Amino acid sequence: MDRRRLREALLASAQGLLLIPLTIGVSTLLFVLFTVSVALIPIGVGVLTTPLVVDAVRAHANLRRRLAADWFGITITAGYRSPAGGRGGIAGQVERCMVMLRDQTTWREAGWLLVDAVAGLVLALIPFTLQGYAVWGLVLLAGVWVPIVNAGGTLWFAFVPVSSWFTAVLAAVVGLGFGVLAQYVGRPVIRGQALMTRALIGLSERQLLAQRVERLAETRHDAVDGAAAELRRIERDLHDGAQARLVAMGMSLGTVEALIERDPEQAKQLLAQARASSAEALTELRDLVRGIHPPVLAERGLGDAAKALALRMQLPVEVDVELPGRLDESVESAAYFAISEVLTNAAKHSGASNAWLDIYYSGRERTLRIAITDNGRGGADLDAGTGLRGLERRLGPFDGTLALSSPAGGPTLVTIEIPCAPHD
């Protein structure tokens, strides 16, 4: 007997046992709750309950995705839409409910729950049932069939009626046949269940491409709007700051020109004021340039720019950088301002005494990863404000992602990932 096949058959039986309560129990319960909750939306109750139920459905579906990946290396892409955020109370709950219900993945997973509760259960039962028949056949052959038959008449073992020693032997042979069959079909059946799950709730390559095109279209508009807003900010800062000082300095120099012969002392005072105004204008211009693209970022790259930024923070920040060299200028700029925003938020709102910044580039996955941790009070929420959502929009054109973990009491961890390649 092939030991490898036997191990795989036993493992498939154990996996089927784990899937049985997940299919007939959890999937059935969630399908009923989802159906009832959606039906209650017209009277208002479902608006409050549906997001909670959908969150539970997604958690269940994600568990099954992880099991498929861990057991068989099958990747099942979810493709959820970003949840609505920015508003609290009933209005925010209604908005979140509508976003979830407009998401096609929500309805795919709802339909999958019903199929999983029926077909998924059958597939999960097959390996365990086949192995169970093999064991039960040997138990009957040991003489257990005698008291059972004496008490209740003929005992059916699958399609074999057990009523004598001959039929008990026949049942044992059939059971061993089931056991041999389990070694060949057990693992493929459980794998087939994972493939069924992927077919029902996973995104195809075409759907992934369409979703990415849709997301890029959205982020393109966000990028255009962001660039326009940034241009207006620069124009406003120039008009209200450096430009106003330069105009005042020009007027002072004109007055100096008129006073330099008849009132030299007054002219000297005006010259001193003009010199001070020029210094202030230069400082404002430097700050403006630093806000557009910090010189240290342009000259020395993201690692050194992040270290310089950490030194200017109001709380101590430990920085760890592992980069292969320079990245694309646009990627470095987006990453730098994302780091600046997160650290500034931590310094202002978290009550943290320390923060940690880790910047790492994965060459195998060609992804820049940034992790920012603080030991503050926690409780941060992507839906609570527009700052982190703004960062998501800024990372969108690069196909970047932002994840937040901030339980009450802390710590808070913000993870940023940006697909990119080292700059040649």
Q: When comparing pLDDT for 408 and 88, which is higher?
A: 408
Across the chain, what does the average pLDDT equal?
A: 79
* Of 323, 355, 345, 356, residue with least CA distance to 422: 323
Task: Tell me what the mean pLDDT of segment 390-402 comes to.
Answer: 74
Digit-coded pLDDT (tens) for 320-340 = 888 888 888 878 888 888 888
Strands 367-374 and 412-419: antiparallel
Q: Please give the Cα distance from 219 to 45 (Å, whole number).
A: 34
Residue 201 near residue 61, CB atoms below 8 Å = yes
Each domain of the chain, given as residue ranges in start order, spans 3-201, 217-292, 297-419
Digit-coded pLDDT (tens) for 205-234 = 676 666 666 666 665 655 555 555 556 666
Digit-coded pLDDT (tens) for 152-189 = 777 777 777 877 788 888 888 888 888 888 888 888 99
Residue 141 near residue 168, CB atoms below 8 Å = yes
First-to-last C-alpha distance (Å) of the chain: 57
Residue 364 near residue 73, CB atoms below 8 Å = no
Digit-coded pLDDT (tens) for 13-39 = 889 899 999 999 999 999 999 999 999
In terms of pTM, does the model score above 0.85? no
Q: Phi and psi at residue 415, in whole multiples of 5°?
A: -115, 130
Indicate left, alpha or beta for 200 from its phi (over 0: left) and psi (-120 to 50: alpha). Answer: alpha
Digit-coded pLDDT (tens) for 95-139 = 788 888 888 889 999 999 999 999 999 999 998 888 888 887 887
* Predicted local distance difference test score (pLDDT) of residue 86: 45
Q: When comparing pLDDT for 56 and 242, which is higher?
A: 56
Looking up tokens 């660039």 gives: 227
* Predicted local distance difference test score (pLDDT) of residue 227: 55
The amino acid that residue 415 corresponds to is T
Residue 406 CB contacts under 8 Å (≥ 6 apart), including other chains = 378, 379, 380, 381, 412, 413
The CA-atom distances, in angstroms, between 323 and each of 1, 360, 363 are 52, 6, 9
The confidence band for 317, taking pLDDT boundaries of 50, 70 and 90, is: confident
- Domain 297-419 fold: Heat Shock Protein 90 (3.30.565)
